[in-house]
Amino acid sequence: MADFVLTRGFLEELAGFEKSASAHDLENLEGTLAAIVQNPSLPGRVPSFYDPSLPSYLYRSGNLLIHYRVPRRGLVEFLNLFWPKV
């Protein structure tokens, strides 16, 4: 299992998400983050092409879209969290 860090942007988005999320949504997010940390090469991820020198990926789980990268072996950095804001 890798270590992980949450960027300031991810933390800000997470705070907004937590205000409107159900318990099920929070469990889904927690499980998805844990799965990514367990296996950053999780099937279903797609390259984001955000920074070609340090590839990042998007992973969808339900209504959530998680943007992350692996800056070095054994470390996952969560960059952004996207969800429908209705």
Q: What is the mean pLDDT of each run of 10 residues along the chain (86 residues)?
A: 92 94 94 96 92 91 95 95 85
Q: What is the pLDDT of residue 50?
A: 76
Q: What is the pLDDT of residue 49?
A: 84
Q: Is 85 helix (H, G, I), strand (E, B) or coil?
A: coil
Domains and CATH numbers, the chain: 3-82 (3.30.2310.20)
Closest CA to 44 of 57, 34, 63, 29: 57
Query: ∠ CA 5-32-63 to the nearest 5 degrees?
Result: 115
What is the distance between the alpha carbons of residues 61 and 6, in angstroms, rounded to a whole number?
18
The pTM of the full predicted model, rounded to 2 decimals, is 0.91
Contacts of 46 (CB under 8 A, 6+ apart): 57, 58, 59
The DSSP call for residue 56 is E
Q: What is the pLDDT of residue 51?
A: 81
